[in-house]
Amino acid sequence: MAILRVALDVPLNTLFDYLAPDTEITAQDVGARVLVPFGRNMMTGVIMEVTAYSSVPSPKLKLAAHIFRDVPPLPEGLIALFRFCSEYYHHPLGEVVMNGLPNRLRSNKPFTRKVPSACQYGLTLTGRKADTSIIPARHIVKHRLLARLRESRVMSISDAKQLSPRAPKALNELITLGWIEEIPFAHPATPVPAAQALQIPVLTTDQRNAVDVIAPEIGEFNTWLLHGVTGSGKTEVYLRLISLVLRQARQTLVLVPEINLTPQLEAVFRARFPTLRLVSLHSGLSPSERAAGWLQAQEGAAEIVLGTRLAVFTPLPKLGLIIVDEEQDASFKQQDGLRYSARDAAIFRAKQAGVPVILGSATPSLESHYNAVTGRYLRLRLSSRAVKNAALPVVRCIDTRAVKTKESFSPPVISALERCLALNQQSLVFINRRGYAPVLLCKSCGWAATCERCASRLVVHLRDKRLRCHHCGHQERFPNVCPECGDQDVVPFGHGTQRVEAALAEYFPGARIMRIDRDSTSRKDAWQHMLRDIHEQRVDILVGTQILAKGHDFPKLSLVSILNSDASLFSTDFRASERLFAQLMQVAGRAGRAGIPGEVLIQTEFPDHPLYHALRQHDYDLLAQTLLEERKTAGFPPFVYQALLRAEAPQIDTALGFLTSAVAVAKAPGEVEVFDPVPAQMARLKGTERAYLLVQSGSRKKLQAFLEAWRAKLDALPSRKVRWTVDVDPMDF
């Protein structure tokens, strides 16, 4: 009788053997879901192998209960991706596999399809011509639905529900009116009326070049770094390549960093390819919607799968192209459970499938930049803005040591805002509020506390009045005076401000101000609303955090002011400069996109800092070179490969104790360094104490081999009350 080797969602790094329930099992069943007894329960897992032998003695082997044949088995490529993630991130295979499946397919019941979820809604001809003012203004939901449909042409029931929970009722009423109709999924969306047919732009020289270089290589694996300044038209390059892939009847996977970016991109794709079958996968979907989308991908019916990082685990039997937009974005790295990088997983996947992967960015991550420098990735540049007459904005620094600020604003910023208001143009005030760990800084000479053992900045731990190195574990007491100049004014430095909106309202009582951050956009439909208000010029000044920086196109925006980014210059996180630069390039890139000249003002006490210098010149390469040299000297990535062993426990000593014994059993070969345990900056989080230790090596292979052997020993360590995980290529310390 055949043996099934099954992946189950349990934290053990092994597959489980079962006797096949029937005799018709073949290798074809690899990838199918199977119901098996586990302990006292039944569990659903995935068949990873079918073999003839098991190391489990046969009287102990249990019989699998049932093989699900409700959906096709997972394709080979996806199984290979799961195996890669399990090995590379040192995470139990069963958890990797099961967490990659939609909830509905993890359950112990067979999957039943609901037809309606695949249905979409569109405007009828009457609906398109109708005068919406005959609907009373208080029927807000109806107005929103109609406005949304005029924008994006089709919407699913879930899109509608995101607008309002009352949407289904409103939809039905609009259907009765004859304004809206149901369009079955996979059916061509409302045909584009000829007059409205989209103008396909003539490519710029840079775009033409990029398309011409990639197009002949579309059937081969390569990692392309599409490095294009903000507004250079990367999307148009994607569209041209996707159309080639569509013609070959193959699927494209498009990954974006933010769920907020999916509706706009979806609208762009649908406008260009009116009959496109597109599936959007992100955390905002209901379980059945997600399962339905997943299945359309799995059956090859979905031509484009658009989603956030989780979408990298979608089965795509006819995969032809992968696009990772804003590849530098930290949100591609999962921060708990399986700590995978969706970008890196996408590259593995492309390689395995023999198809190209395109990483798009205005400011590539230093890792990707370095890979392009060394020739592992192929770089294509788009160096000017695509829209005629749209130039990159002028960037100026305002030295706040020379001009005084009042309520965070300097006089030049205030007058620039006034000017914009008078011209009826929009402006954006950008607040950098990321919670960077505080460092100790001397206000008179600029000295910042650094570690004597490695080049890292020391982190202030106020609780026990100590400075700690989060890199190597070194610690020391707070100095009372500056060791450089003797000044007593050494203070923790680095926190954002939230009073900006209020201050603005005082300065400009007549202006329409809109604050955009996680809090103000947390309601489901809030963001779509705000976007519409911005586009329809119902806003004068936008106040926002990084959420605004990403990918949006606001044609009327001409001024960007950046208030408080200095703290990141002195962050203890060695990636802070890189991130700050990317972020500021992106926000700066919001200005002047459609022909109005743009201006960017940065308030800073350090106008001579290389980062601001590079920003003024729009010179990514200059800064990248500086940062790479710093990283090389300090021995940071991309010149070394890192992993963290993270531990959590109710008491910090328990966590540290576990890590200390982990160090004791680590037999690191010469090329692998194991540092001392450190309590995390936010040591107490949700009632548990957190600590970690860093392992690094100049050789990825050696690091991987070490982790493999170490993990087995860690599994054997007593770890009562400790939860630990390995984080490979960590992004947050």
- Residue ranges in contact with Zn ion by CB under 5 A: 442, 444-445, 447, 451, 453-454, 456, 469, 471-472, 474, 482, 484-485, 487
Instruction: Please choose which of ligand ADP, Zn ion, none residue 260 contacts, taking the beta carbon within 5 to 8 angstroms, the exact cut-off set by kind.
Output: none
Q: Which two tokens stand for residue 527?
A: 């963001």
Instruction: Please choose which of Zn ion, ligand ADP, none residue 363 contacts, taking the beta carbon within 5 to 8 angstroms, the exact cut-off set by kind.
Output: none
CB closer to ligand ADP out of 300 and 364: 364
Instruction: Please choose which of Zn ion, ligand ADP, none residue 453 contacts, taking the beta carbon within 5 to 8 angstroms, the exact cut-off set by kind.
Output: Zn ion
The only residue of 110, 201, 219, 337 in contact with ligand ADP, by rule CB under 6 A:
201
Number of residues that bind ligand ADP (CB under 6 A): 16
CB closer to ligand ADP out of 461 and 593: 593
Residues 228-247 touching ligand ADP, rule: CB under 6 A, are 228, 230-236
CB count in 10 Å sphere of residue 163: 20
State in angstroms the smallest separation of the CB of 456 from Zn ion: 5
State how far the Cα of 111 lies from the Cα of 301, in Å rounded to an integer.
18
CB count in 10 Å sphere of residue 115: 9
Residues 539-598 touching ligand ADP, rule: CB under 6 A, are 553
Under the criterion CB under 6 A, does residue 203 sit at the interface with ligand ADP?
Answer: yes
State in angstroms the smallest separation of the CB of 204 from ligand ADP: 5
In contact, 285 and 158? CB cutoff 8 Å: yes
Of the ranges 90-98, 227-235, 293-301, 308-316, which one interacts with ligand ADP (CB under 6 A)?
Answer: 227-235
Phi then psi for 99, rounded to 5 degrees? -70, -20
CB closer to ligand ADP out of 194 and 202: 202
Phi then psi for 637, rounded to 5 degrees? -55, 150
Under the criterion CB under 6 A, does residue 326 sit at the interface with ligand ADP?
Answer: no
Instruction: Please choose which of ligand ADP, Zn ion, none residue 308 contacts, taking the beta carbon within 5 to 8 angstroms, the exact cut-off set by kind.
Output: none
Instruction: Please choose which of ligand ADP, Zn ion, none residue 625 contacts, taking the beta carbon within 5 to 8 angstroms, the exact cut-off set by kind.
Output: none
CB closer to ligand ADP out of 198 and 505: 198
CB closer to ligand ADP out of 11 and 201: 201
Q: Write the Ramachandran bin of 577: left for phi over 0, alpha for psi from -120 to 50, otherwise beta.
A: alpha
Instruction: Please choose which of Zn ion, ligand ADP, none residue 447 contacts, taking the beta carbon within 5 to 8 angstroms, the exact cut-off set by kind.
Output: Zn ion
CB closer to ligand ADP out of 190 and 230: 230
Phi then psi for 543, rounded to 5 degrees? -115, 125
Instruction: Please choose which of Zn ion, ligand ADP, none residue 230 contacts, taking the beta carbon within 5 to 8 angstroms, the exact cut-off set by kind.
Output: ligand ADP
Instruction: Please choose which of ligand ADP, Zn ion, none residue 451 contacts, taking the beta carbon within 5 to 8 angstroms, the exact cut-off set by kind.
Output: Zn ion
CB closer to Zn ion out of 219 and 446: 446
State in angstroms the smallest separation of the CB of 386 from ligand ADP: 3
CB closer to ligand ADP out of 387 and 395: 387
Phi then psi for 550, rounded to 5 degrees? -85, 125
Of the ranges 95-103, 195-203, 333-341, 527-535, which one interacts with ligand ADP (CB under 6 A)?
Answer: 195-203
CB closer to Zn ion out of 319 and 442: 442
Under the criterion CB under 6 A, does residue 156 sit at the interface with ligand ADP?
Answer: no
Of all residues in the shown chain, the one whose CB is closest to ligand ADP is 233
Q: Which two tokens stand for residue 433?
A: 């509020």
SS3 317: coil
- Among 632, 598, 602, 605, smallest CA distance to 614 is for 602
Instruction: Please choose which of Zn ion, ligand ADP, none residue 606 contacts, taking the beta carbon within 5 to 8 angstroms, the exact cut-off set by kind.
Output: none
What are 251's strand-pairing partners? 319
Under the criterion CB under 6 A, does residue 204 sit at the interface with ligand ADP?
Answer: yes
Under the criterion CB under 6 A, does residue 207 sit at the interface with ligand ADP?
Answer: yes
CB closer to Zn ion out of 80 and 445: 445
State in angstroms the smallest separation of the CB of 643 from Zn ion: 17
What are 600's strand-pairing partners? 395, 560
Which residues, in sequence order, are CB contacts of 188 under 8 Å at separation 6+?
A: 274, 275
CB closer to Zn ion out of 475 and 537: 475
Instruction: Please choose which of ligand ADP, Zn ion, none residue 207 contacts, taking the beta carbon within 5 to 8 angstroms, the exact cut-off set by kind.
Output: ligand ADP
Residues 377-416 touching ligand ADP, rule: CB under 6 A, are 386-387
Instruction: Please choose which of ligand ADP, Zn ion, none residue 204 contacts, taking the beta carbon within 5 to 8 angstroms, the exact cut-off set by kind.
Output: ligand ADP
Sign of CA dihedral 95, 98, 102, 106: negative
In contact, 311 and 346? CB cutoff 8 Å: no
Give the DSSP letter string of 3-69: EEEEE-SSSSSS-EEEE-SSTT--GGGTT-EEEEEETTEEEEEEEEEEES--SS-GGGPEEP-EE--
- Among 262, 250, 263, smallest CA distance to 316 is for 250
Kindly provide the b/e burial profile for residues 383-421, where b requires at least 16 CB atoms within 10 angstroms of the residue's own CB: ebbbbeebebbebebbebeeeeeeebbbeebbebbeebb
CB closer to ligand ADP out of 231 and 320: 231
SS3 484: coil
> Residue 21 corresponds to which amino acid?
P
State how far the Cα of 168 lies from the Cα of 199, in Å rounded to an integer.
34
How many degrees, rounded to 5, is the angle at CA 696 between CA 690 and CA 699?
150
Strands 223-228 and 304-307: unpaired
In contact, 512 and 538? CB cutoff 8 Å: yes
State in angstroms the smallest separation of the CB of 319 from ligand ADP: 23
CB closer to ligand ADP out of 225 and 656: 225
State how far the Cα of 275 lies from the Cα of 488, in Å rounded to an integer.
69
Instruction: Please choose which of ligand ADP, Zn ion, none residue 442 contacts, taking the beta carbon within 5 to 8 angstroms, the exact cut-off set by kind.
Output: Zn ion
- Among 311, 291, 304, smallest CA distance to 265 is for 304
State in angstroms the smallest separation of the CB of 297 from ligand ADP: 25
Instruction: Please choose which of Zn ion, ligand ADP, none residue 231 contacts, taking the beta carbon within 5 to 8 angstroms, the exact cut-off set by kind.
Output: ligand ADP
State in angstroms the smallest separation of the CB of 203 from ligand ADP: 5
CB closer to Zn ion out of 99 and 572: 572
Instruction: Please choose which of ligand ADP, Zn ion, none residue 235 contacts, taking the beta carbon within 5 to 8 angstroms, the exact cut-off set by kind.
Output: ligand ADP
Instruction: Please choose which of Zn ion, ligand ADP, none residue 469 contacts, taking the beta carbon within 5 to 8 angstroms, the exact cut-off set by kind.
Output: Zn ion
CB closer to ligand ADP out of 97 and 560: 560
In contact, 722 and 648? CB cutoff 8 Å: yes
Sheet holding 154-156, edge to edge: 154-156, 119-123, 180-184
Q: What is the 3-state secondary structure (H, E, C) of 247-305?
A: HCCCEEEEECCCHHHHHHHHHHHHHHCCCCCEEEECCCCCHHHHHHHHHHHHCCCCCEE
Q: Write the Ramachandran bin of 103: left for phi over 0, alpha for psi from -120 to 50, otherwise beta.
A: alpha
State how far the Cα of 425 lies from the Cα of 427, in Å rounded to an integer.
7
- Given the rule CB under 6 A, which residues bind ligand ADP? 201-204, 207, 228, 230-236, 386-387, 553
